[in-house]
Amino acid sequence: MGEFSAEEKEAMKAEAGIAACTFVKNGMTIGIGTGSTVKYTILELGRRIREEGLNVSGIPTSEATEKLSIEQGIPLVNWTECSSLDLVIDGADEFDSDLHLIKGGGGALLREKIVAESSAAMVVVADASKQVDVLGQFPLPIEVNPYGWEQTQRRIQAICNGPVVRRGPDYVTDNGNPILDAHFGPMISDPVGMEAQLRSIAGVVEVGLFTNTADVVVLAAPTGCQMIRKEAARL
């Protein structure tokens, strides 16, 4: 989206975020993602609750999302009250033709993955700059345990051809964990295998590869939103 003005980019994000709400039906319990495009989904959900009487509840994936959802009057539940979700709407940093994703640029990847894996279906909102042939140009976020993070970093570095960098000396997620950004470059041709390999390393809490979770991508474009649906989509 580099050729568009900031205003045009925001308008496209808003259109995609609002369009994703068409998948939300009365009575659903939904996962509410994190990011600059999902913000517009939250605003639209709030509008539908106030103006249309939409009856939904949600589980947020970050403290920022929780705050905005409360401001918009979206009823929230927790995992004590809820064991599964009807739908999750979330953003992505990259997606490929199989709708495998890189997520976690906003630091919420652990909560986002818990929500995604607990949902009956997943809708992703994104713009055209996030669509790639091969994942990895966006640095892969990996949430790690604070204990021995330096050793975890070394083990990740052994399988990453680019630098593996801690995201700021004081940066931690909402869960209190550091994030390592692994600069693989556009070379993650087997995201399923890479996700499994990284998750097998002691100290890795979660990996920002979301494989076989997304069903539909609502793609923001200047000519309107495009729906990219996986062949075996669950909705």
Residue closest to 114 by CA, chosen among 206, 201, 177, 28: 206
CA distances from 70 to 76, 84, 88, 200 (A): 8, 21, 17, 37
Question: Can 3 be counted among the known catalytic residues?
Answer: no
What is the rounded distance in angstroms from the CA atom of residue 198 to the CA atom of residue 71? 37
Instruction: Using CB atoms within 10 Å of the CB of residue 26, give its burial: 0 to 12 exposed, 13 to 18 middle, 19+ buried.
Output: exposed
**Pair of tokens at residue 93:** 């940093």
Bridge partner list, 165: 181
What is the rounded distance in angstroms from the CA atom of residue 13 to the CA atom of residue 30? 20
Residue whose tokens read 């495998």: 100
Residue closest to 104 by CA, chosen among 163, 182, 28: 182
Active-site option among 44, 66, 112, 143: 112
Residues 115-134 as b/e (b if ≥16 CB within 10 A, e otherwise) read: bbeebebbbbbbbeebbbee
Instruction: Using CB atoms within 10 Å of the CB of residue 52, give its burial: 0 to 12 exposed, 13 to 18 middle, 19+ buried.
Output: exposed
Q: Indicate which residues carry an active-site annotation.
A: 112
